[in-house]
Structure 1
Amino acid sequence: MRAIIPAALSATLLAALVPLSASADDNADTLHGFIGGGLGVKPAYSGAKDNKLSFVPALKVEYGSFFIGGVDTLTAAGWKFYDTDRWQLSLGVGSDLFPREESDDDHLKGMGDISVTPRAFVSGTYKNGFFTGGAILTQDIGGNDQGFRFTTYAHAQWQATDDLRLFAGPSVSWADSDYMQTQYGVSSAQSSRSGLQRYDAGSGLEQVGLELGADYQITRSWMVGFRTFASHLEDHASDSPVVEDADQLRYALFLAWKF
Structure 2
Amino acid sequence: MIDVSKPLVMKVVAGSALSMFAVAAMADDTLGLSESLYSIGAPEITQAPAANASPWHFSVGGGVVNMPKFPGSSGTKWEAVPTVSASYDRFFIGANPDAASLLSLGAYLYRDSNWRIGAAVTYDFIQPRSESDDSRLRGLGDVKRTAHAELFGVYTYQFISARASVLTDIAGNDRGTVATFDLMGRYQPIPQLTLTAGPGLTWASSKYNETYFGVTSEQSARSGLPTFSAGSGLNQLRFSINGAYRIATHWNVGASVSLAWLRGDASDSPITEKTSQITYGLFANYLF
TM-score range normalised by the length of the shorter chain: 0.7 to 0.9
Q: Is the 8 A contact 2:83 2:102 kept in 1?
A: no
Counterpart in 2 of 1:64? 89
For the pair 1:125 / 2:150, whether they are aligned, the reply is: no
Tell me the CA shift for residue 183 of structure 1.
Answer: 1.2
Tell me the CA shift for residue 144 of structure 1.
Answer: 2.3
Relative to 1, partners in 2 of residues 1:99 and 1:200: Cα closer, same or farther, differing over 3 Å?
same
Residue 220 of structure 1 aligns to a residue whose secondary structure is: coil
Q: Bigger CA drift: 152-161 or 52-61?
A: 52-61
Counterpart in 1 of 2:7? none
Q: Out of 84, 98, 115, which is 2:112 matched to?
A: 84
> How far apart are the structure 2 equivalents of 1:59 and 1:228?
21
Tell me the CA shift for residue 73 of structure 1.
Answer: 5.5
Q: CA offsets, 1:46-88, max 9 Å, x none?
A: 1100111221333432111111224336621111010111100
Residue 180 of structure 1 aligns to a residue whose secondary structure is: helix
Q: Out of 55, 68, 86, which is 1:30 matched to?
A: 55
Q: Is the 8 A contact 1:25 1:65 kept in 2?
A: no
Counterpart in 2 of 1:105? 134
Q: CA RMSD in A?
A: 1.9
> How far apart are the structure 2 equivalents of 1:145 and 1:25?
41
Q: CA offsets, 1:9-62, max 9 Å, x none?
A: xxxxxxxxxxxxxxx977655221422112111111111001112213334321
Q: Give the fraction of aligned pairs with identical amino acids, expressed as a percent.
A: 36
Q: Is the 8 A contact 2:115 2:153 kept in 1?
A: yes
Q: Is the 8 A contact 2:101 2:122 kept in 1?
A: no
In structure 1, give the amino acid aligned to 2:79. Answer: S
> How far apart are the structure 1 equivalents of 2:213 and 2:184?
28
Tell me the CA shift for residue 147 of structure 1.
Answer: 1.1
Q: How does 1:99-248 map to 2 (within 5 A)?
A: 99-248=128-277
> How far apart are the structure 1 equivalents of 2:174 and 2:79?
28
> How far apart are the structure 2 equivalents of 1:250 and 1:200?
27
Residue 181 of structure 1 aligns to a residue whose secondary structure is: helix
Report the TM-score when normalising by structure 1.
Answer: 0.87
Residue 85 of structure 1 aligns to a residue whose secondary structure is: coil
Q: Bigger CA drift: 25-34 or 70-79?
A: 25-34
> How far apart are the structure 1 equivalents of 2:50 and 2:160?
23
Counterpart in 1 of 2:79? 54
Relative to 1, partners in 2 of residues 1:200 and 1:72: Cα closer, same or farther, differing over 3 Å?
farther
Count the aligned residue pairs.
240
Tell me the CA shift for residue 139 of structure 1.
Answer: 0.8
> How far apart are the structure 2 equivalents of 1:47 and 1:233?
7
In structure 2, give the amino acid aligned to 1:229. Answer: S
Q: Is the 8 A contact 1:25 1:64 kept in 2?
A: no
Residue 189 of structure 1 aligns to a residue whose secondary structure is: helix
Q: CA offsets, 1:209-246, max 9 Å, x none?
A: 00000110000011101000000000100001111000
Tell me the CA shift for residue 204 of structure 1.
Answer: 0.4
In structure 2, give the amino acid aligned to 1:78. Answer: G
